[in-house]
Amino acid sequence: MLNVGTIIGGMVMGYFSDMLYSRRSPVILVAMIISVIINFIVIFEYDNIVDGYFPIMLLLGFLINGFTNMIYANCSTDVGKDLEMKYTQSRVLASTVCIIESFGALGSALGIFIVGYTSREEVWGYQYGYWVLITLFITISIIPLSVVFVKDFSDIRLIIKNKRKF
């Protein structure tokens, strides 16, 4: 269900990002706030959500992995465009995609070890430590994203204001 949510989330969030003049931070910020709320519900009600586990995984795949894939694609393209003057475009794009995807795979591999450790141990008094750590990391990452959001929001307001003049 997580992968189904990832596929749908990447398409839907990409569409909304395009509707906001290719500004990604508003879409990602909303998705992160909703995912933090869902994760807090999972932390405190994990034993009571047996029937709701699949919809929760669908939502988390939609919200978290959806924008992650959108960021991978956009970072690869942005870096490839910046470096294309020195090298051929296909070589640069292939290299940047390889580097970004490799770090994503490395993070996933390390994440498996963290999940294995925290799923057996209590973290700060909670039986399901994985959810606590993931929620903590997502919450912390909202802080730098909010700085980008403020800039993107002012850009969107400026674009809309300039469109009204014509």
Q: pLDDT tens across 31-64, in order?
A: 999 999 998 888 888 777 778 888 888 898 898 8
With 70 as the cut, is the pLDDT of residue 28 above it?
yes
pLDDT of 118-164, one tens digit each? Answer: 666 666 666 667 778 888 888 998 999 899 999 999 999 998 888 88
pLDDT of the residue at 42: 84
Domain count, the chain: 1
Comparing 17-26, 77-86, 88-97, 143-152, the range with the smallest average pLDDT is 77-86
Q: What range defines the domain where residue 70 resides?
A: 2-165
* pLDDT (0 to 100) of residue 29: 92
Considering the chain, what is the average pLDDT of its residues?
A: 80
Residue 17 has pLDDT above 70, yes or no: yes
Predicted local confidence at residue 87, as pLDDT: 59
What tokens appear for 12 in the block?
């839907």
